[in-house]
Each structure stands twice: as C-alpha cells, then as structure tokens.
Amino acid sequence: MLQAVAPFEQHIEAMRYSLFAGGKRVRPILCLATGEAVAKSSDTEKNLLPIACALECIHTYSLVHDDLPAMDDDDLRRGKPTNHTLFGEAGAILAGDGLLTWAFDLLSSPDAGTLTPLERLKIIHIIARAAGPQGMVGGQALDIACENTSFPFETLQTIHKNKTGVLITCSVHAGAIGAGASPEQTEKLIAYGNNIGLAFQIVDDLLNATSTTEQLGKAAGSDASRGKATYPAFFGIEKTRIKAQEAVKRAIDALSEFSENADPLRAIAEYIYTRSH
C-alpha cells in the first residue's frame, strides 16, 4: 500500500513544482480582472476562481511539455530547473498530463460557484477549443514544423495567434461569460484579448532577442539559435516595438466604453508591453 502512495505523491509534487515555480499568472489575473470590469454579481469572483486556476494549470502544462527534450529541450524555466530535469521525462510528461486534466476537473466541478450548467458548458468549450488542436496545441505543432524553414509573415501570425494568443483571449472570454457580460461587452472584451494576446507574443519575441537569460529566467536568444522566424526577424527591433505598442493601444481602445472597473485590464495591457520577463 505504502509503495503505491509514494509515486502518487511524487507525481503531485511534480505538478506542484511547476505550478508554484513563480509564473506571472497573467491568464488567471486576466480572467479575474475581466470579472471586475463587468462586475454584475457579488458571486463573480467565487465563480471565476476555479476558471482562473484551470487556466494557469493549462498554461503550466504547456510550458512543462514545451521544455521537454523532444520539444524545446530547455533546462531553465522561471529561473529554476525545468520539470524534466528534476522529475525525469516520464515524470514531466505525466505532470503536464495531470495539470491539463486537473484543469477540466476544476472547470466541471458542480460545487464550484453559481454558474448555470449552460454557462459552465460554454466556458469549458471555449477553453478546450483554445487549448487544443485549433488553438495552442495546433500552434505548437505548426511552430515545430516550421523550424528552420522560411515562411511568409502570415504563417508567423497563425503560429503566434494559435500558440499564445488564443489562450490569452479565452482567459478574457471565459471571464466575460462567467461574469455575465452582455454580447456587446463580450465582443469588446474579445477584441481587447486578441490585441493583448498579439502584444504578449510580440514582446516575448522582443525579450528573447534583447534580454539576458538571467533577466528572463529562461534561455535568451533561443529563437535565433533554433532558426525560428519571429517579429524581430521580420521587422527588426524598433519596428517590432512599435507594433507591440500599437496592439496595446488597440486593446485599451477596445475598453473605451467600460468604466474605471476596467482599469486593471488597462493596466495589464500596459504591463504586457513594459514587462521585463
């Protein structure tokens, strides 16, 4: 009996290790800040918390798997050894699988909050769609297939949108549904999400090209050494900065009809441009 418990505890430890390794929590914060912007009910925060946690679990799983030797083969993430360097490849694959599956456990738990079954189903569907083949996993597959090949800028846009943008947009979208936003509000919030998702990835490309490994807590300069096409590779550093600023401006403009309750969302948009890691 005891022998069966120890491997299970090690599996949970591997999941916890990456989940609590010091990520910025951008996606859960976006989900909660969207709830604050809409603020229709006192239950909103309670309803959104499991969704916010699920988003961070999915994001963390993607990083654990992205760091594996078969993918980016990285030793450092969030300034710490990557999951597989501590728990082994099988342990890291399972930690990722556990985090992904746990996310849907959190999302589907009938005890969590006062959302209607239809609202819950809609949220589960948009998150599953964003994380899967039509979103993050598909974007990652395309990104890997395109390494060391030359391709048009439109392909880079598709990679960025699917690999990074859709999970960011869906963090806002899920927050909007969970907070009872109107269709008009939801449309504007999705426009905000699309633009900060784009800005986030452009800035990620910029930081990879211009920062040090110490600043980033993960390998700097890895895009160039892996032959990855990025915004700086297409446009150069200065034009890339302008494109990130323009996307942040479009995001903030999309919130023009929201009150000061949307100030946290506005601040996150600014932060995405000014972040250093």
Binding site for ligand GRG (CB under 6 A): 23-24, 26, 59, 62-63, 65-66, 71, 78, 136-137, 140, 163-164, 201, 204
Could you tell me the two tokens for 27?
């996606």
With tokens 């990104």, the residue in question is 143
Min CB(207)–ligand GRG separation in Å: 9
Task: Write the CB contacts of 112 (distance below 8 Å, at least 6 apart in sequence).
Answer: 47, 49, 50, 106
**Minimal distance in Å, beta carbon 72 to ligand GRG?**
7
Q: How far is the CB of 167 from ligand GRG (least distance, A)?
A: 7
Q: Which two tokens mark 88? A: 């082994």
Residue number, 59 or 161, with CB nearest to ligand GRG? 59
Q: CA-to-CA distance for 137 and 178, rounded, in angstroms?
A: 24
> What's the number of CA atoms in the CB half-sphere (13 Å) around residue 134?
7
Report d(CA 30, CA 56) in Å as an integer: 11
- Min separation Cβ 117 and ligand GRG, Å: 29
Q: What does the angle CA 133 – CA 138 – CA 142 come to, to the nearest 5 degrees?
A: 160
E-strand ranges in 137-250 read none
Q: How near is the Cβ of 168 to ligand GRG at its closest, in Å?
A: 8
List phi, psi (to 5°) of 154.
-60, -35
Shortest Cβ contact with ligand GRG: which residue?
23
Comparison of 185 and 201: residue with beta carbon closer to ligand GRG? 201
